[in-house]
């Protein structure tokens, strides 16, 4: 059997048999399932409204005229009970008849200030209480001045429905929004994790072989090119298996959950080219990182040293995550486009843009071309660096030595 294939097979089997790989590959879809089951369960237990969910709130009206509309519908129902003095309201609060009370001061119309009293220690008044008070005040302020329907509309003036049309003027199948962002963003994130996991294994393997001194035995049996190729492809194949399992389970889970649970989850969309792009970017970015990691593995004095050096590659890959809010709001900005073209940042950036505005085909082609060029260039340099430095034990070559080696290459 071809020696490259032997190394590929050995690395692949060695990787897929490790506990961490099995747990990581299978646990992720299972965790998503469990999370969704919990969400479904919580939704189920939230639905029924029992009488004890009626909240009683006291108030003292120093302005006068805030006496109508004391029942505020919603979940839970809020009942407002008027008191004449703060002392009466405090007694009711301490007796547990009301959960809180507020004072509408005589200058309320001029200042808008409302004073609230409660026994609870809280960061800020709960949203449902604020909504109930606002509804109560609006209802009473506008009473008699307009129709009840207008009063209700004033409380919630807009339910914005945004519809995206395609180039032909028809309603587009991909409506965008958070539902469309969800899957690409999560998958882009997982893609990076898998790429780092696979290329990190390559780095660690090389570091250990160098540290264990197995490297010299291997190089007396196979060429440096066969060794790197076998390792890169073997670990890459294991990573690809992981990514394909994740991608397929993402498609399956999203479809299944959206039909069984509904709600926000039912708005989650999967882009058409999602599977193909996921696999293409995994393979290319992995190869790009792998050839560079092979060089780092050769340069590092030992496995730990190599891991530290690899941070120079790993940290820039997270740039799209650091500036996520900017990129989400400006997916077509020139900075976003540049990061789509840089091999290190491309995988995350592509999926962020895929989930927001989409990416023109020419940009995808350019991004993939840059990646391929990076892989070829990296391979030439990596082979030279690997051969020169891999048997240098115990010390890291100086920068000058590496530059000289690259120049000669």
Partner 1 sequence: MPAVELNNICKSYNDNLVVNNVSFTVAQGEIFGLIGPNGAGKTTTIRMMMDITKPDSGGISILGESLNEATKNRVGYLPEERGLYRKVRVLETLVYLASLKGLGVRAARSRAEELLKRVDMLPHKEKKVEELSRGMGQIIQFLVTLIHDPQLLVLDEPFAGLDPVNTKLLKEMILELRNQGKAIILSTHMMNEVEALCDRILMINKGCTVLYGELAEIKSRYRNNSVFLEFGGVLGDIGGVVGKKEHGDYVELFLDKETPPQKILRQLASRGVSVNRFEVSTPSLNEIFLQVVEKGR
Cβ closer to partner 1: 88 or 401?
401
Give the dihedral of Cα atoms 374, 376, 380, 382; nearest 10 deg: 50
Cβ closer to partner 1: 30 or 217?
217
> Residue 4 Cβ, how far from partner 1 at the closest point, in Å?
11
Among 220, 395, 407, 408, binds partner 1 (CB under 8 A): 220
Cα dihedral across residues 26, 174, 272, 196: positive or negative: negative
Work out whether 217 is an interface residue with partner 1 (CB under 8 A).
Answer: yes
> Residue 300 Cβ, how far from partner 1 at the closest point, in Å?
16
Among 219, 321, 370, 406, binds partner 1 (CB under 8 A): 219
> Binding segment for partner 1 among 64-72, 88-96, 140-148, 208-216 (CB under 8 A)?
208-216
Work out whether 401 is an interface residue with partner 1 (CB under 8 A).
Answer: yes
Using an 8 Å Cβ cutoff, are 104 and 86 in contact?
no
Work out whether 213 is an interface residue with partner 1 (CB under 8 A).
Answer: yes
> Binding segment for partner 1 among 3-11, 97-105, 237-245, 378-386 (CB under 8 A)?
3-11
> Residue 240 Cβ, how far from partner 1 at the closest point, in Å?
23
Cβ closer to partner 1: 218 or 291?
218
Q: What one-character-per-residue DSSP string does 358-402 give?
A: ---HHHHHHHHHHHHHHHHHHHHHHHHHHHHHTT--SSPPPHHHH
Nearest to 65 by CA among 175, 142, 125, 168: 142
Cβ closer to partner 1: 7 or 185?
7
Nearest to 231 by CA among 409, 371, 386: 386
> Binding segment for partner 1 among 124-132, 148-156, 207-215, 284-292 (CB under 8 A)?
207-215
Kindly state the number of chain residues that form the binding site for partner 1, as judged by CB under 8 A. Answer: 22
Cβ closer to partner 1: 153 or 213?
213
> Residue 236 Cβ, how far from partner 1 at the closest point, in Å?
20
Work out whether 222 is an interface residue with partner 1 (CB under 8 A).
Answer: yes
Among 118, 223, 307, 330, binds partner 1 (CB under 8 A): 223
Cβ closer to partner 1: 204 or 249?
204
Cα dihedral across residues 392, 398, 399, 403: positive or negative: negative
Cβ closer to partner 1: 15 or 284?
15
For residue 291, what is the enclosing H or E element? Answer: helix 274-299
- DSSP code of 173? S
> Residue 308 Cβ, how far from partner 1 at the closest point, in Å?
22
Token couple for 68: 């109508």
Work out whether 212 is an interface residue with partner 1 (CB under 8 A).
Answer: yes
- DSSP code of 172? P
> Residue 200 Cβ, how far from partner 1 at the closest point, in Å?
17
Distances (CA, A) of 5 to 81, 193, 231, 297, 360: 81, 26, 9, 21, 38
> Residue 307 Cβ, how far from partner 1 at the closest point, in Å?
18
Q: Helix 19-46 to helix 3-16 angle, to the nearest 10 degrees?
A: 40
Among 6, 114, 245, 279, binds partner 1 (CB under 8 A): 6
Using an 8 Å Cβ cutoff, are 65 and 82 in contact?
no
For residue 230, what is the enclosing H or E element? Answer: helix 224-260
Cβ closer to partner 1: 59 or 386?
386
> String of b and e for 335-366 (b: at least 16 CB within 10 Å)?
ebbebbbbbbbbbbbbbbbbbbebbeeebbee
Residue 249: exposure state from Cβ atoms within 10 A (0-12, 13-18, ≥19): middle
x/- track of binding to partner 1 for residues 372-391 (CB under 8 A): -------------------x
Cα–Cα dist 299/292, whole Å: 11
> Binding segment for partner 1 among 133-141, 204-212, 234-242, 270-278 (CB under 8 A)?
204-212
Nearest to 81 by CA among 96, 110, 154, 144: 96
Cβ closer to partner 1: 18 or 260?
18
Nearest to 182 by CA among 378, 352, 404, 324: 352
Q: Which of residues 8-47 bind partner 1 (CB under 8 A)?
A: 10
Binding site for partner 1 (CB under 8 A): 1, 3, 6-7, 10, 208-209, 211-214, 216-223, 391, 393, 401
């Amino acid at each position: 059997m071809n020696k490259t294939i032997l190394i590929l097979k050995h690395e692949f089997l060695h990787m897929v048999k490790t506990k961490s790989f099995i747990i990581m590959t299978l646990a992720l879809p299972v965790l998503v399932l469990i999370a969704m089951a919990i969400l479904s369960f919580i939704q189920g237990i939230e639905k029924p409204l029992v009488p004890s969910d009626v909240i009683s709130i006291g108030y003292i009206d120093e302005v006068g005229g805030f006496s109508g509309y004391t029942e505020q519908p919603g979940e839970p129902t809020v009942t407002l009970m008027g008191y004449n003095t703060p002392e009466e309201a405090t007694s009711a609060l301490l007796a547990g008849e009301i959960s809180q009370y507020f004072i509408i001061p005589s200058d309320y119309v001029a200042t808008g200030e409302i004073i609230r009293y409660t026994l609870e220690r809280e960061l800020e008044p709960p949203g449902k209480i604020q909504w109930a008070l606002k509804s109560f005040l609006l209802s009473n302020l506008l009473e008699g001045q307009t129709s009840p329907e207008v009063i209700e509309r004033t409380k919630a003036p807009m339910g914005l429905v945004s519809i995206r049309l395609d180039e032909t003027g028809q309603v587009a199948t991909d409506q965008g929004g958070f539902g469309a962002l969800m899957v690409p963003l999560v998958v882009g994130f997982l893609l990076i994790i898998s790429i780092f996991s696979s290329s990190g294994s390559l780095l660690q393997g090389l570091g250990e072989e160098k540290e264990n001194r197995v490297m010299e035995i291997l190089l007396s049996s196979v060429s440096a090119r066969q060794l790197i190729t076998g390792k890169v492809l073997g670990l890459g194949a294991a990573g690809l298996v992981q990514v394909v399992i994740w991608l397929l389970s993402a498609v399956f889970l999203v479809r299944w959950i959206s039909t069984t649970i509904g709600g926000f989850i039912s708005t989650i969309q999967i882009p058409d080219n999602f599977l193909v792009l996921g696999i293409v970017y995994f393979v290319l970015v992995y190869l790009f990182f792998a050839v560079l990691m092979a060089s780092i593995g050769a340069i590092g004095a030992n496995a730990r040293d190599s891991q530290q050096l690899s941070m120079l590659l790993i940290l820039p890959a997270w740039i799209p995550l650091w500036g996520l809010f900017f990129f989400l709001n400006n997916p077509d900005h020139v900075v976003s486009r540049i990061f789509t073209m840089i091999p290190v940042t491309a995988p995350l950036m592509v999926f962020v843009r895929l989930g927001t505005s989409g990416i023109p085909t020419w940009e995808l082609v350019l991004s993939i071309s840059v990646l391929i060029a990076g892989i070829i260039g990296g391979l030439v340099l990596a082979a030279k660096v690997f051969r020169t430095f891999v048997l240098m034990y115990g010390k890291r070559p100086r920068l000058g030595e590496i530059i000289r080696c690259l120049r000669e290459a």
